[in-house]
Amino acid sequence: MLPLDALNFDNTFSRLPAGLFTRVPPTGLHKPRLVAFNAEVAALLDLGPECVRNPDFVAYFSGQKLLPGSDPLAMKYTGHQFGVYNPDLGDGRGLLLGEVVNRRGEAWDLHLKGAGKTPYSRFGDGRAVLRSCIREYLGSEAMHHLGIPSTRALCIVGSDEPVQREKTEAAATLLRVADTHIRFGHLEWLHHSGQPELLRTLVDYIIQHHFPELDDKADRHAQFFREVVRRTARLMALWQLAGFAHGVMNTDNFSITGATFDYGPFGFLDAYEPGFICNHSDYHGRYAWNQQPSVGLWNLNALAYALSGLVGKDELIDALQTYEPELLEAYSRGLHDKLGLQGEQAGDRELVVDFLDLLARNGADYTRSFRRLSSVRQDVTLSPLRDDFVDREAFDAWLDRYRARLAVEGSNDDERARRMNAVNPKYILRNYLAQVAIDKAESGDYSEIERLRSLLSNPFAEQPENEHYAALPPEWGKHLEISCSS
């Protein structure tokens, strides 16, 4: 493993034309202290767990000192926010420190969130708060271990430095690790500001570094867009299958490589409520949970417009038309797996839709219901899941159909339970669990952050010592308001 000050930086983005970014040194936190450290992510960078004992660790990741080889910069981009184009965007509270290449040849962006003001901060202070850093740290780890493409985080550094949001909070930094921080909004900015040559340069850079299999294709730009459509469709399907709501699906929050990006007011479904809005600033429900697939397509249309100088209209339309079948195929297959069904039978779609409808009408918990369904036995009339439904007669009628469907394929209960429990998590990051960790951390106790990170690193396993983390949320934790404010 490498020493902390010997990371292998190869800052390819900073070698692009200077118009794409502004070099900015971070503004260090006052009296920083380590809040959380992720040894799994450290290993991606060829760092051992002992790196956290380096006396400069906190200084490097609070912005007080620069890592040798880093080249901090703020990226310029724009994007559509709640459907309205905003030309005045960019890294306003975070800096790309550089790109680290590990021994496996993988390149990872290191991005310091909360690093202070940049030319794109507008009226902001350039800071992140401890609350939002904890939510992103835990949320990104939860998503990664659910098998959903996501950014990750190496550490959180806290301080007593006050920042004003809805109330006075403590400033913090988070070191985010991702394959890239290039967003749909980068390409929108170059198109809408009339910079076609720089747009071509950036797209070719993206293809070379993140879609190398397309690099020698004559129609590489069209194939690139088609691949972004495919990845985005599959990401949306995975979000829906996990019951994950992003909350702020602006085009500047969409990764060009199809990873979950920019965790703000996100949330996982508790009770199955298709119209769930996790962001209390989303007054009209534009980004409600059941709207996410259509918003994904809307964002891809915005990206297509940005690429219209490089790719023909017919090719763009043809690529966009692959979105719905890609998404539906992935989502339908995922629901099939969540129900433990094998093969395709007449009536499968109705069986799945009727189960989701039962969940919605009874306010049943999304994650818990799918997980407990694995315990259904074909030779036992009643199921423990029955008690989670107010309308038990309707549940019994559906369960009879489900058992009959299992009998058609000769399903083995034990084998089916094993398969279902491999795709239906026992543990998710419920909002109230994150809030408990935040409350403790704001009182100086950081232990719950690591406890949750460890729990969520193995979400499909039975963990008897942690059974209480799989419980339904308490009354106070059912309707927590989460905002965009960081």
Q: Which pLDDT belongs to residue 383?
A: 87
Beta carbons of 223 and 318 less than 8 angstroms apart: no
CA–CA dist 148, 43 (Å, integer):
19
Question: 173: Cβ–Cβ under 8 A, 6 or more apart, which residues?
Answer: 29, 32, 61, 62, 63, 112, 113, 114, 115, 128, 133, 156, 157
> What are the strands, taking DSSP E only, across 237-290?
244-245, 267-268
Task: Indicate the residue type of 351.
Answer: L
pLDDT band at 352 (very low <50, low <70, confident <90, very high): very high
Q: Which pLDDT belongs to residue 481?
A: 79
Number of H helices, E strands in the chain: 15, 11
- DSSP code, position 47: B
Q: How much of the chain, in percent, has pLDDT values that exceed 70?
A: 99
Q: Which pLDDT belongs to residue 382?
A: 83
pLDDT band at 484 (very low <50, low <70, confident <90, very high): low
Q: Among 169-173, 286-290, 375-379, 427-431, whose mean pLDDT is lowest? A: 375-379
Beta carbons of 79 and 303 less than 8 angstroms apart: no
**Dmax of the chain from CA atoms?**
68
pLDDT, tens only, 43-99: 999 999 999 999 999 999 999 999 999 999 999 999 999 999 999 999 999 999 999
Helices (H), 363-408: 366-373, 392-408
Q: Among 120-124, 156-160, 196-200, whose mean pLDDT is lowest? A: 120-124
pLDDT, tens only, 292-339: 999 999 999 999 999 999 999 999 999 999 999 999 999 999 999 999
Count CB neighbours of 42 within 10 A.
20
Say how far residue 41 (Cα) sits from the centre of its chain: 16
- Measured CA to CA in angstroms, residue 174 lies from 113, 115, 153, 358 at distances of 5, 9, 7, 40
CA–CA dist 96, 78 (Å, integer):
17
Mean pLDDT of 119-140: 96
Instruction: List the Cα angle 51/52/55 in 5-degree steps.
Output: 95
Average pLDDT in the chain: 96
Beta carbons of 138 and 453 less than 8 angstroms apart: yes
User: Does 485 score more than 70 pLDDT?
Assistant: no
**Token pair for residue 102?**
């590990």
**Token pair for residue 342?**
């094998």
CA–CA dist 324, 230 (Å, integer):
9
User: Does 478 score more than 90 pLDDT?
Assistant: no
Mean pLDDT of 21-28: 98
Q: Which pLDDT belongs to residue 182?
A: 98
pLDDT band at 2 (very low <50, low <70, confident <90, very high): confident
Using alpha carbons, select from 337, 309, 66 the residue that is nearest to residue 188: 309
As annotated, the active-site residues are 252
Count CB neighbours of 334 within 10 A.
17
User: Does 272 score more than 90 pLDDT?
Assistant: yes
When computed from its CA atoms, the radius of gyration of the chain, rounded to whole angstroms, is 23
Count CB neighbours of 347 within 10 A.
12
Q: Which pLDDT belongs to residue 486?
A: 55
CA–CA dist 133, 172 (Å, integer):
7
Count CB neighbours of 167 within 10 A.
7
Domain boundaries, the chain: 4-182, 339-421
- Quickly tell me which residue has 């380590």 as its tokens: 34
pTM for this model (two decimals): 0.97
User: Does 459 score more than 90 pLDDT?
Assistant: yes
**Token pair for residue 344?**
């395709």
Q: Is 7 in a helix, a strand, or coil?
A: coil
